[in-house]
């Protein structure tokens, strides 16, 4: 089954429900059904991969995906003092 390479900057690791891994040229897909690969290859920034050639030439870079941690401060809200009449 074919694969495609996405050369678009900031491409996600999941495109159209299919997993993509880091690659020297951008992101490379897992093996795709022929119709999906052909549809993606028709979009600018995507290209079909010769599987044998890709296995020899692709240097898949496995980097951990780390997202910045979200830090929040706990703020205590004291009850407002009742106004005197």
Query: What is the per-residue pLDDT across 21-36, written as a single tens digit (0 to 9) for each?
Result: 999 999 999 999 988 9
By the 10 Å C-beta count (0-12 exposed, 13-18 middle, 19+ buried), 22 is classed as middle
Task: Please count the helices (runs of H) and the strands (runs of E) in the chain.
Answer: 2, 5
Confidence of residue 49 (pLDDT cuts 50, 70, 90): confident
Q: Decide: pTM greater than 0.85.
A: no
Domain ranges of the chain: 3-57
């Amino acid at each position: 089954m074919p694969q495609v390479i996405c050369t678009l900057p900031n491409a996600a690791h999941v495109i159209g429900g299919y997993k993509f891994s880091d690659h020297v040229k951008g992101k490379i897909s897992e093996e795709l059904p022929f119709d999906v690969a052909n549809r993606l290859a028709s979009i600018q920034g995507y290209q079909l991969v010769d599987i044998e050639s890709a296995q020899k030439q692709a240097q898949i870079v496995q980097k951990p995906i780390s997202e910045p941690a979200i830090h929040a401060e706990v703020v205590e809200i004291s009850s407002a003092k009742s106004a005197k009449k």
